[in-house]
């Protein structure tokens, strides 16, 4: 018996030694070290092989379906709140007196905003990934029908008479005018780039639409974004108001008197080498005031402070008395309360030169920001009660609606949407992604340069090797899970490495993500970021004739003269389906004089139309320019033999490329299998 | 039954006895314990003023008080030292660093005390005095150490090292005395800095990263007052410290972390008397050292920053001053900031956006300032170079790392427009930017690419050093 026990103990020790020192463990250690690019990441298989999986049986158990409230509207009596649950494709109706969910109404894919008809009989919900507006009968709690819109509908507004619905189309950068009596779109008006916000003048004459992306220009030029002024009666564009040095004009609101319209905005510092964060050298956040009395000049004020930043301002609402504006700073979980009278006083006293100086002043906010209200994770849409006494806040990543007393600024209620209580690894990653606390002085979150997990359309000088060198066009994060290596230079083979210690040393300039946080962030980026459907250029998967001809050019092996195109110079060689990248580096003759000698990573081409400008340094403003201006030496594909029409067809095909998940025959796609196995 | 009950009672008594015996042997300093420096009453009064820090404290003791008991018992923690002072508590509240000299003529060194068993270990073994240590969140300490390479170099710079004294590194290089460091929650060092070359200037607060990079002004008194204590960050994002007026009357001052330049508040303006140190515990309770007049000794008091009133007197010793009070507390660990320096790189880069930048005051006052077209970069020992700036007023220079320099702007005829600036230095591989000269510290830069960075940086002093044309003593 004793001998047996001794053998048992010896066996356990032997197995333990085997596990600890076995070649398998050493291999696992080497593998983890390689993937994470550090030597001290815990040897945990689940970090990558469980939480980073997109599909499969187990992933359904480890993930949860959250509601993620995005925008909201309040009934006139404040007894009900109508909430867009973006992740669940629902309109949720909440009882504010009893703090409960009254109803959940299924709407279209990825809803964005909701408004109510004047009599509160109907709700209109924009379905951003479905190009439609759901019209809901609130008495029946039922969707009656859908109205067709432009691409990517976002904010909505009703004409004063209630006969027309105005829908801001984010992806197609225009405004749909929908006749509600005929239930059809009657007009499409061009707006600024990537618009979301809309506000109707109190007198009902005009409306404003705010744009998020800056107008595309050469690197080094002063950036600017547009607010579009539209005549409601004529249903035509009056003018575009240029907002200089700013972008991400997410939302806009009028004061009740109509003397001002105020938009949220970000003032990026992308033209300056990214050599420090101190003193606001990377991103500033604020508001733009469009003076309606004069010539529509835009005065900008920051809501930041010298050592504290209020990143990613999203929504703005103004109290009925016109005294206060509330701005949600999504990146720092704060609502800033702004005294509009103080803003008026500053504007009335200051010279234009001084006002221009104020737009970069971090200290002046103390004159008009009267309160900072702390909220739950990621406050997005705001709504005021009709009397202006209550502020309702959609806390997107808290699955909760917060209610604030607008006089005392105290929390008077919080309505839990009854979402999952468990915070999954990927959800935690999403919270980290959207929160600026991992950047020095909260100056920016991952979201800031990657709004909606895409890219902000700007070119930065990261100042790594030397100031003024190696300009970098921000890359999308959508569908990048299988498309490593990362960075334009392809130097980071994994997202772990991309977001590791160098990321904190040169970009966030504060403490690096902990292993646990980095696990969560990677899990979110690899599993939670999807491209919207390509409804403009490829809604059904059936290509147009023009796109088919472009596809033939994309895949051709001979030029128009019958000469064989070398394999490595065919479009399809470097950009094969399903992600349209071969995951390799290449020289496509785009190395600039300010670039260090390097090859460039082949980017994926999913929804490429949504990612201008193009090439590593953003020098090409359009897809056409890649070849008509910069690719004439034929190192970036053979195109010189193409007619203008053929080049257009090639571009037409490129724009039709969509994410593999929208293709019906994904499972049969051998290349996709190849990607997944890599 | 009865014997059994007696047994249980006996065991209980024994257990209580053990607990009593062992608890009475427990030397550990519990959370809430106040630790301060004790000085003899007749100690020269000017040494209670940081302006005269070079005299430092003689025959001082570090003592501990249990604030709850208020028993009047001061436990001396540094019996084996001739003099010890400047206690600073670790973020986990389990240890303390301080400066001390074992014997009268010893060099001041940095020491660490375990607050559980009160054991002391030496950290530095320096041939020059080391003062005012503070824990950094990455497990190292920062402290002031005398540097005596040259006459004009004879100042106290900041150094860092590990707790075993290894990896000693000088992190500041301008000819400024640096004292009284503390760590902000954002991970930067907040320290008192006073220029001593070529002329003395009043102490100011500067902040810098733990690798010495990005040193910048944090606070400067607008009232010609002198900063006389470390600045300590409260949980309400305020920095509290003692400022002394011309009559040496110390007041408790609070500034906001978010906006330090325009948030000055004198918390003790309604109290006559002298404050010497302040240490925040909660939003309504500070521990201060205070005396009613110069005839009294500094004693320990509570202070309420909300009501701005002195609270309980915690301890007073008629024969000894109590100064530099700190409290054993667990605090949120500041951020561990990454370092951009590469020691093998011998240079740093500086870009200035526009030397003719006008700040808000200039515009509001409608001041017309002469246009500068050149900058003079002046090293110590009168080495200087003049370069033209670009059309937009920008310049971009490469300078030897760890080398102080200052800048003057010049008009086309070489006349000084502005300057000289304060002494600047760059750490190896550091890249820094400034908006202009004498810029408003609350102004962020315009989003404009400086023309100067479209070219290679202009090497200042570097080329000469490389070509051995001039032997520059860096």
Confidence of residue B61 (pLDDT cuts 50, 70, 90): very high
> Is residue B203 located within the same domain as residue B311?
yes
Distance separating alpha carbons of residues A628 and A618, to the nearest angstrom: 15
Q: Is A461 on the interface with B (CB under 8 A)?
A: yes
Q: How far is CA B58 from CA A672, B123, B230, in A?
A: 76, 21, 20
Give residues with Cβ within 8 angstroms of B97, minimum separation 6. B87, B88, B90, B110, B111, B112, B113, B123, B133, B134, B135, B141, B143
Between A400-409, A530-539, A631-640, the lowest mean confidence (pLDDT) is in A631-640
Question: What is this model's ipTM?
Answer: 0.92
Q: How far is CA A602 from CA A121, A550, A567, A572, B296, in A?
A: 52, 20, 16, 12, 76
- The number of folded domains in chain B is 2
Whether B2 is in a domain gets the answer no
> Is residue B312 located within the same domain as residue B394?
no
Give residues with Cβ within 8 angstroms of B460, minimum separation 6. B377, B385, B387, B397, B398, B399, B405
Looking at residue B350, its pLDDT comes to 96
Whether B290 is in a domain gets the answer yes
Looking at residue A7, its pLDDT comes to 79
**pLDDT tens digits, A41-56:** 998 888 888 888 777 7
Query: Which percentage of chain B shows pLDDT scores above 70?
Result: 85
C-alpha B5, offset from chain centre: 62
Q: What is the mean pLDDT of residues A91-96?
A: 98
What is the torsion angle, in degrees rounded to the nearest 10, for the CA atoms of residue A358, residue B366, residue B390 and residue B373? Answer: -150
* HSE-up (13 A, CA, CB side) for residue A135: 16
Query: Which tokens go with A147?
Result: 């109205």
Distance separating alpha carbons of residues A299 and A452, to the nearest angstrom: 27
Contact A511 B449 (CB under 8 A): no
Taken in order A301, A304, A309, A314, the sign of the CA dihedral is negative
Give the gap in angstroms from C-alpha B57 to the nearest C-alpha of chain A.
35
* B residues 128..187 contacting A (CB < 8 A): 186-187
Whether B4 is in a domain gets the answer no
Distance separating alpha carbons of residues B231 and B212, to the nearest angstrom: 18
* A residues 70..89 contacting B (CB < 8 A): none
Q: What is the mean pLDDT of residues A576-601?
A: 94
> Is residue B410 located within the same domain as residue B460?
yes
Q: Chain A residue closest to B336 (CA)?
A: A511
Residue A281: list chain B partners with CB under 8 A.
433, 444-445
Inter-residue long-range contacts of A631-634, CB under 8 Å, 24+ positions, other chains counted: A631/A588, A631/A589, A633/A589, A634/A569
Query: Which tokens go with A359?
Result: 């737009």
Q: What is the mean pLDDT of residues B198-220?
A: 95
Give the one of B186, B447, B456 whose C-beta lies nearest to A440's C-beta: B186
Residue A271: list chain B partners with CB under 8 A.
447-449
> Is residue B159 located within the same domain as residue B268?
yes
Residue A305: list chain B partners with CB under 8 A.
258-259
> Is residue B275 located within the same domain as residue B387?
no
**pLDDT tens digits, A266-281:** 999 999 999 999 999 9
DSSP sequence for A544-569: PHHHHHHHHHHH-SB-TTSPBPPGGG
Quick one: A185 exposed, middle or buried, by C-beta within 10 A (0-12, 13-18, 19+)? middle
> Is residue B230 located within the same domain as residue B258?
yes
Distance separating alpha carbons of residues A478 and A603, to the nearest angstrom: 12
**pLDDT tens digits, B332-380:** 999 999 999 999 999 999 999 999 988 888 787 777 778 999 999 999 8
Whether B312 is in a domain gets the answer yes
Query: Which tokens go with A259?
Result: 């003397």
Looking at residue B69, its pLDDT comes to 62
What's the CA angle centered on A277, arms A276 and A280, to 5 degrees?
120
Say how many CB pairs under 8 Å bridge A and B.
141
**pLDDT tens digits, B217-247:** 999 998 889 998 999 999 999 999 999 987 7
Looking at residue B12, its pLDDT comes to 67
Whether B16 is in a domain gets the answer no
Whether B299 is in a domain gets the answer yes
> Is residue B248 located within the same domain as residue B357?
no
Looking at residue A23, its pLDDT comes to 79
Domain end residue (candidates: B327, B361, B384): B327
Question: Do residues A201 and A209 make contact, with C-beta atoms less than 8 angstroms apart?
Answer: no
> Is residue B279 located within the same domain as residue B386?
no
> Is residue B102 located within the same domain as residue B195?
yes
- Phi, psi dihedrals of residue B445, rounded to the nearest 5°: -75, 155
**pLDDT tens digits, A367-412:** 999 999 999 999 999 999 999 999 999 999 999 999 999 999 999 9
From A137, A570, A277, A665, select the one nearest B216 (Cα to Cα): A277
Inter-residue long-range contacts of A623-629, CB under 8 Å, 24+ positions, other chains counted: A623/A651, A623/A654, A623/A655, A624/A648, A624/A651
Q: Is A215 on the interface with B (CB under 8 A)?
A: no
Mean pLDDT of chain B: 88
Q: How far is CA A67 from CA A98, A156, A376, B89, B359, in A?
A: 20, 21, 15, 45, 48
Looking at residue A676, its pLDDT comes to 40
Whether B82 is in a domain gets the answer yes
Per-residue burial over A621-649, b = 16 or more CB atoms within 10 Å of its CB, e = otherwise: bebebbbeebbeebebbbbeebeeebbbb
> Is residue B269 located within the same domain as residue B397?
no
Q: Chain B residue closest to A464 (CA)?
A: B431
Q: Domain holding B39: CATH number?
A: 2.120.10.30
Distance separating alpha carbons of residues A303 and A340, to the nearest angstrom: 13
Looking at residue B470, its pLDDT comes to 38
Residue B359: list chain A partners with CB under 8 A.
357
- Phi, psi dihedrals of residue A268, rounded to the nearest 5°: -80, 160
> Is residue B191 located within the same domain as residue B312?
yes
What is the torsion angle, in degrees rounded to the nearest 10, for the CA atoms of residue A105, residue A109, residue A113 and residue A116? Answer: -40
**pLDDT tens digits, A304-331:** 999 999 999 999 999 999 999 999 999 9
Question: Do residues B171 and B208 make contact, with C-beta atoms less than 8 angstroms apart?
Answer: yes
Whether B60 is in a domain gets the answer yes
C-alpha B359, offset from chain centre: 28
Q: Domain holding B456: CATH number?
A: 2.60.40.10
Q: Is B91 on the interface with A (CB under 8 A)?
A: no
> Is residue B157 located within the same domain as residue B250?
yes
Question: Do residues B128 and B148 make contact, with C-beta atoms less than 8 angstroms apart?
Answer: yes
Residue A351: list chain B partners with CB under 8 A.
363
Contact B444 A272 (CB under 8 A): no
Domain end residue (candidates: B270, B298, B327): B327
Q: Which letter does DSSP use for residue B137 in this model?
A: T
Contact B453 A461 (CB under 8 A): yes
Distance separating alpha carbons of residues B457 and A464, to the nearest angstrom: 14
Question: Do residues A621 and A223 make contact, with C-beta atoms less than 8 angstroms apart?
Answer: no
Q: Chain B residue closest to A352 (CA)?
A: B363
SS3 (DSSP) at A189: strand
Query: Which tokens go with B144?
Result: 């002031």
* pLDDT at B49 > cutoff 50: no
Instruction: Determine if residue B451 is left, alpha or beta; phi over 0 gives left, psi from -120 to 50 gives alpha, anything else beta.
Output: alpha
Tokens 């499409």 belong to residue: A188
DSSP sequence for B342-386: -TT--EEEEEES-TT---HHHHHTT---PPP-EEEEEEGGG-EEE
Confidence of residue B153 (pLDDT cuts 50, 70, 90): low
Taken in order B361, B363, B364, B368, the sign of the CA dihedral is positive
Q: What is the mean pLDDT of residues A423-432?
A: 97
Mean pLDDT of chain A: 93
Range of the domain at B410: 347-467
Give the gap in angstroms from C-alpha B348 to the nearest C-alpha of chain A.
10
Distance separating alpha carbons of residues A277 and B209, to the nearest angstrom: 12
DSSP sequence for A612-656: -SBSTT--BSSHHHHHHTS-TTSSSS--TT--HHHHHHHHHHHHH
Q: What is the mean pLDDT of residues A516-534?
A: 94
From B251, B188, B252, select the one nearest B215 (Cα to Cα): B188
Distance separating alpha carbons of residues A24 and A113, to the nearest angstrom: 52
Check residues A292 and A359 and name the one with the higher pLDDT.
A359
| CATH number listed for the domain at residues A545-677 | 1.10.760.10
Distance separating alpha carbons of residues B173 and B142, to the nearest angstrom: 14
**pLDDT tens digits, A136-166:** 999 999 999 999 999 999 999 999 999 999 9
Q: Do β-strands A132-137 and A142-148 pair in parallel, antiparallel, or remain unpaired? A: antiparallel
Distance separating alpha carbons of residues A153 and A367, to the nearest angstrom: 37
**pLDDT tens digits, A198-256:** 999 999 999 999 999 999 999 999 999 999 999 999 999 999 999 999 999 999 999 99
- Sheet order of strands, B109-114 included: B83-89, B95-101, B109-114, B120-122
* pLDDT at A463 > cutoff 90: no
């Amino acid at each position: 018996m004793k001998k047996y026990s001794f053998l048992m103990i010896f066996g356990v020790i032997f197995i333990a030694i085997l596990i600890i020192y076995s070649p398998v463990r050493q291999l696992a250690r080497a593998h983890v070290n390689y993937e994470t690019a550090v030597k001290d990441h815990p040897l945990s298989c689940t970090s990558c092989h469980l939480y980073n999986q997109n599909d499969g049986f187990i992933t359904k158990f480890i993930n949860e379906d959250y509601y993620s409230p995005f925008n909201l509207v309040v009934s006139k009596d404040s007894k009900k709140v109508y909430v867009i649950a973006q992740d669940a494709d629902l309109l949720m109706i909440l009882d504010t007196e009893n703090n409960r969910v009254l109803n959940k109404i299924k709407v279209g894919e990825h809803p964005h905003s909701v408004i109510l008809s004047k009599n509160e009989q109907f709700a209109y919900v924009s379905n951003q990934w479905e190009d439609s507006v759901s019209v809901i009968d609130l008495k029946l709690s039922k969707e009656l029908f859908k109205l067709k819109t432009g691409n990517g509908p976002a904010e909505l507004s009703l004409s004063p008479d209630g006969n027309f619905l105005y829908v801001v189309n984010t992806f197609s950068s225009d405004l749909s005018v929908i006749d509600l009596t005929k239930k059809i779109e009657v007009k499409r008006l061009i707006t600024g780039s990537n618009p979301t916000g809309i506000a109707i003048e109190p007198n009902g004459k005009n409306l404003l639409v705010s744009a998020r992306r800056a107008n595309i220009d050469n690197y080094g030029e002063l950036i600017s974004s547009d607010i579009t002024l539209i005549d409601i009666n004529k249903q035509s564009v009056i003018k575009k108001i240029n907002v200089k040095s700013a972008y991400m004009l997410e939302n806009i609101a009028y004061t009740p008197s109509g003397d001002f319209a105020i938009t949220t905005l970000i003032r990026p510092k992308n033209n300056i080498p990214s050599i420090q964060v101190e003193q606001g050298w990377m991103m500033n956040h604020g508001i733009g005031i469009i003076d309606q009395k004069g010539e529509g000049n835009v005065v900008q004020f920051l809501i930041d402070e010298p050592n504290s930043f209020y990143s990613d301002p999203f929504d703005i609402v103004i109290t009925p008395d016109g005294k206060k504006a509330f701005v949600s700073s999504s990146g720092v979980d704060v609502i800033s309360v702004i005294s509009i009278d103080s803003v008026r006083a500053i504007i009335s006293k200051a010279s234009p030169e001084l006002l221009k100086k104020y737009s970069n002043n971090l200290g002046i906010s103390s004159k008009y920001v009267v309160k900072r209200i702390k909220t739950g994770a990621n406050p997005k849409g705001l709504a005021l009660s009709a009397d202006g006494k209550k502020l309702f806040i959609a806390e997107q990543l808290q699955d909760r609606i917060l209610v604030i007393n607008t006089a005392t600024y105290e929390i008077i209620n919080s309505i839990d949407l009854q979402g999952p209580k468990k915070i999954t690894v990927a959800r935690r990653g999403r919270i980290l992604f959207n929160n600026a606390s991992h950047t020095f002085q909260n100056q920016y979150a991952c979201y800031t340069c990657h709004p909606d997990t895409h890219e902000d359309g700007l070119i930065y000088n990261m100042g790594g090797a030397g100031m003024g060198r190696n300009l970098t066009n921000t890359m999308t994060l959508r569908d990048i899970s299988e498309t490593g290596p990362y960075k334009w230079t392809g130097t980071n083979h994994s997202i772990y490495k991309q977001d590791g210690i160098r990321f904190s040393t040169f970009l966030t300039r504060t403490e690096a993500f902990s292993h646990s946080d980095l696990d969560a962030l990677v899990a979110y980026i690899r599993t939670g970021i999807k491209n919207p459907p390509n409804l403009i250029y490829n809604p059904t998967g059936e290509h147009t004739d023009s796109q088919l001809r472009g596809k033939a050019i994309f895949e051709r092996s001979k030029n128009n003269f019958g000469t064989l195109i070398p394999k490595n110079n065919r479009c399809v060689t470097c950009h094969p389906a399903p992600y349209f990248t071969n995951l390799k580096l290449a020289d496509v003759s785009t190395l600039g004089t300010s670039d260090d000698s390097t090859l460039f990573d082949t980017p994926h081409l999913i929804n490429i139309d949504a990612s201008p400008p193009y090439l590593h340094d953003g020098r090409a403003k359009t897809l056409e320019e890649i070849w008509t201006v910069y690719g004439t030496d034929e190192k970036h594909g053979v195109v010189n033999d193409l007619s203008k029409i053929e080049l257009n067809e090639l571009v037409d095909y490129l724009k039709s490329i969509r994410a593999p998940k929208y293709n019906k025959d994904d499972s049969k796609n051998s290349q996709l299998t190849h990607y997944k196995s890599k | 039954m009865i014997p059994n009950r007696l047994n249980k009672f006996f065991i209980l008594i024994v257990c209580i006895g053990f607990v009593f015996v062992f608890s009475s042997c427990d030397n550990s300093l519990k959370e809430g314990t106040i630790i301060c420096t004790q000085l003899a009453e007749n100690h020269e009064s000017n040494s209670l003023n940081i302006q005269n820090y070079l005299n430092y404290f003689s025959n001082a003791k570090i003592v501990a008080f249990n604030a709850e008991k208020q028993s009047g018992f001061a436990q001396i923690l540094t019996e084996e030292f001739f003099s010890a002072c400047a206690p600073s508590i670790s973020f986990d509240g389990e240890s303390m660093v301080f400066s001390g000299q074992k014997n009268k003529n010893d060099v001041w060194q940095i020491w660490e005390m375990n607050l559980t068993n009160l054991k002391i270990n030496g950290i530095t073994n320096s041939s020059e005095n080391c003062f005012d240590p503070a824990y950094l969140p990455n497990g190292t300490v920062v402290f002031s150490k005398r540097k005596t390479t040259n006459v004009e170099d004879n100042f106290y710079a900041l150094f860092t090292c590990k707790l075993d004294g290894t990896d000693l590194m000088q992190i500041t290089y301008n000819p400024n005395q640096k004292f009284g460091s503390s760590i902000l929650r954002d991970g930067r060092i907040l320290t008192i800095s006073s220029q001593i070359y070529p002329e003395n200037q009043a102490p100011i607060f500067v902040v810098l990263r733990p690798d010495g990079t990005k040193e910048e002004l944090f606070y400067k008194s607008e009232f010609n007052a002198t900063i006389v204590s470390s600045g300590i960050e409260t949980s309400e994002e305020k920095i509290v410290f003692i400022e002394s007026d011309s009559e040496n009357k110390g007041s408790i001052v609070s500034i906001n972390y978010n906006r330090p330049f325009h948030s000055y508040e004198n918390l003790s303006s309604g109290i006559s008397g002298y404050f010497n140190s302040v240490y925040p515990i909660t939003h309504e309770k500070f521990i201060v050292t205070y005396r009613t007049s110069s005839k009294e000794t500094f004693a320990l008091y509570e202070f309420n920053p909300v009501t701005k009133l002195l609270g309980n007197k915690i301890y007073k010793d008629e024969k000894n001053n109590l100064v530099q009070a700190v409290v054993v507390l667990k605090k949120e660990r500041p951020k561990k900031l990454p370092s951009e320096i590469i020691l093998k790189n011998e240079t740093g880069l500086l870009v200035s956006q526009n030397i003719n930048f006008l700040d808000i005051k200039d515009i509001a006052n409608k001041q017309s300032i002469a246009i500068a077209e050149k900058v003079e970069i002046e090293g110590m020992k009168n080495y200087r170079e003049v370069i033209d700036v670009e059309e937009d007023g920008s310049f971009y220079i490469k300078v030897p790392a760890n080398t102080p320099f200052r800048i003057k702007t010049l008009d086309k005829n070489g006349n000084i427009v502005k300057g000289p600036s304060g002494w600047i230095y760059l750490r190896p591989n550091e890249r820094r930017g400034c908006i202009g000269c004498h810029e408003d510290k609350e102004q962020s830069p315009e989003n404009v690419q400086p023309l100067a960075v479209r070219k290679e940086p202009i090497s200042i002093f570097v080329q000469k050093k490389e070509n051995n044309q001039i032997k520059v003593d860096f």
